[in-house]
């Protein structure tokens, strides 16, 4: 008889995320082991406990989920997890700290319903946050030209710099935007807008985005009023407004939840998946959402 599925949740925060725990159970995980305050030097023994307990045939029924609010800390845990594997002894692992990978993948996938991402010209507001960085990375990885926007030119440049090795320089540009005029200029010629600003912060007013004549799709990821894109409702799900197709955070959130649960289920299909942003985008794309 197949052994029950076990998901080991590793979280750098003191308390592991209840959101991630509930989603895991809803995705069908039978047993959830939740560890908070995990540091990279503690990972090896936790991973070995997962690797050495079940035989080859059942190893795929144990997997690891890395959450927490700090994406950089999550990336360190992921590196520690994968470096604890050797040979065929490994279990599948997924990184979704701060929901950044599943949220960014959902944003890219809803944009892709309406425009070809490989030829898109995209503006990402709040590009310096963990979600915005992932959105920039996934759009650029899919071939889009991406303008990474921050209130600070230096912080925007740092995002572009951090991704510089992965993509051609010309595809990624950094923009420090301090006022409406600069924002309007930044939107010139763009056909996709993603607002990934902090919760409860409006990043762009309606007059500015509705005047952007090439803009086709506007996506807001902020669910907390005031919303990130003025005039886009939190529940918008491909709603036409001012000639643009609009998505609010809940419209994107439904896609994100589908992706998150599908990714958890994917972990138990084999023992060798490593699901980071790009793999999660492919998985989401395969769902045909
Ligand atoms: N729908 C979902 O399922 C889901 C899941 C996860 C997150 N989210 C949402 O996605 C959004 C992005 O998340 P995050 O964690 O990446 O956000 P974050 O780190 O809190 O903020 C992102 C960026 O917003 C800018 N910002 C912060 N305060 C600002 C202010 N007062 N005025 C203007 N800009 C400000 C900052 O950029 P600069 O300082 O560089 O300008 C910051 O780097 C949030 O709204 C979050 O709630 C949604």
Same domain, 61 and 82: yes
What local confidence, expressed as pLDDT, does residue 56 receive? Answer: 81
Our count of domains for the chain comes to 2
Question: Does 287 map to a domain?
Answer: no
Same domain, 243 and 115: yes
Asked whether the predicted pLDDT for residue 42 surpasses 70, the reply is yes
| 38: nearest Cα among 65, 71, 10 | 10
Residue nearest to atom 24 of ligand 1 (CA): 197
Q: In Å, how far are 8, 35, 181, 201, 258 from 232, measured between CA atoms? A: 38, 38, 20, 13, 22
Same domain, 21 and 162: no
End-to-end CA distance of the chain: 34
Q: Domain holding 42: CATH number?
A: 3.40.50.10280
Domain C-terminal end among 53, 80, 95: 95
Same domain, 74 and 132: no
Same domain, 120 and 51: no
What residues are paired with 220 via a beta bridge?
195
Same domain, 75 and 126: no
Mapped onto helix, strand or coil, the DSSP state of residue 149 is strand
Question: Does 277 map to a domain?
Answer: no
Predicted model pTM? 0.97
- Ligand 1 atom nearest to 257, measured from its CA: 3
Asked whether the predicted pLDDT for residue 169 surpasses 90, the reply is no
Q: The domain containing residue 63 runs over which residues?
A: 6-95
Same domain, 61 and 136: no
Quick: pLDDT tens for 133-155.
Answer: 999 999 999 999 999 999 999 99
Please state, for a pLDDT cut of 70, what percent of the chain lies above it.
Answer: 99
Average per-residue pLDDT in the chain?
Answer: 96
98 ligand 1 Cβ < 6 A: yes
Domain C-terminal end among 95, 111, 128: 95
pLDDT class of 165 with cuts at 50, 70, 90: confident
Helices (H), the chain: 18-26, 40-51, 71-82, 100-112, 130-141, 153-163, 180-187, 206-210, 249-267, 277-286
Same domain, 46 and 166: no
Q: Please give the average per-residue pLDDT across 218-237, as a whole number.
A: 98
What local confidence, expressed as pLDDT, does residue 170 receive? Answer: 65
Neighbours of 196 (CB within 10 A): 28
Distance CA 126, CA 133 (A): 8
Asked whether the predicted pLDDT for residue 168 surpasses 80, the reply is no
Q: Please give the average per-residue pLDDT across 64-74, as a whole number.
A: 96
Mapped onto helix, strand or coil, the DSSP state of residue 7 is strand
Edge-first strand listing for the sheet containing 145-150: 172-176, 145-150, 121-125, 192-195, 217-220, 244-247, 237-241
141 ligand 1 Cβ < 6 A: no
What local confidence, expressed as pLDDT, does residue 54 receive? Answer: 87
Asked whether the predicted pLDDT for residue 164 surpasses 90, the reply is no
Quick: pLDDT tens for 192-214.
Answer: 999 999 999 999 999 999 999 99
């Amino acid at each position: 008889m197949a052994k029950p599925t076990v998901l080991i949740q590793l979280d750098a925060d003191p308390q592991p995320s209840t959101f991630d725990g509930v989603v895991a159970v809803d995705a069908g995980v039978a047993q959830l082991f939740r560890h908070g305050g995990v540091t990279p030097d503690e990972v090896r023994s936790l991973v070995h406990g997962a690797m050495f307990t079940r035989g080859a045939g059942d190893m795929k029924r144990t997997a690891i989920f890395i959450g927490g609010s700090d994406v950089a800390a999550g990336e360190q845990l992921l590196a520690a997890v994968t470096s604890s594997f050797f040979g065929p002894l490994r279990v599948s692992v997924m990184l979704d700290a701060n929901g950044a990978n599943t949220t960014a993948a959902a944003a890219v996938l809803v944009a892709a319903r309406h425009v070809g991402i490989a030829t898109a010209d995209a503006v990402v507001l709040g590009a310096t946050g963990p979600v915005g960085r992932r959105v920039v990375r996934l759009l650029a990885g899919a071939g889009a030209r991406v303008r990474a926007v921050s209130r600070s030119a230096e912080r925007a440049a740092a995002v572009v710099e951090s991704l510089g090795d992965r993509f051609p320089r010309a595809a990624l540009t950094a923009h420090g935007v301090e006022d409406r005029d600069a924002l309007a200029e930044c939107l010139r010629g763009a056909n996709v807008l993603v607002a990934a600003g902090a919760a409860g912060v409006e990043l762009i007013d309606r007059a500015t985005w509705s005047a952007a004549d090439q803009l086709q799709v506007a996506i807001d990821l902020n669910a907390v009023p005031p919303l990130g894109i003025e005039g886009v409702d939190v529940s918008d799900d491909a709603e036409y407004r001012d000639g643009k197709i609009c998505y609010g955070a809940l419209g994107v959130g439904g896609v994100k939840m589908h992706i998150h649960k599908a990714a958890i289920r994917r972990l138990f299909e084999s023992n060798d998946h490593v699901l980071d942003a790009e793999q999660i985008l492919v998985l989401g794309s395969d769902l045909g959402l």
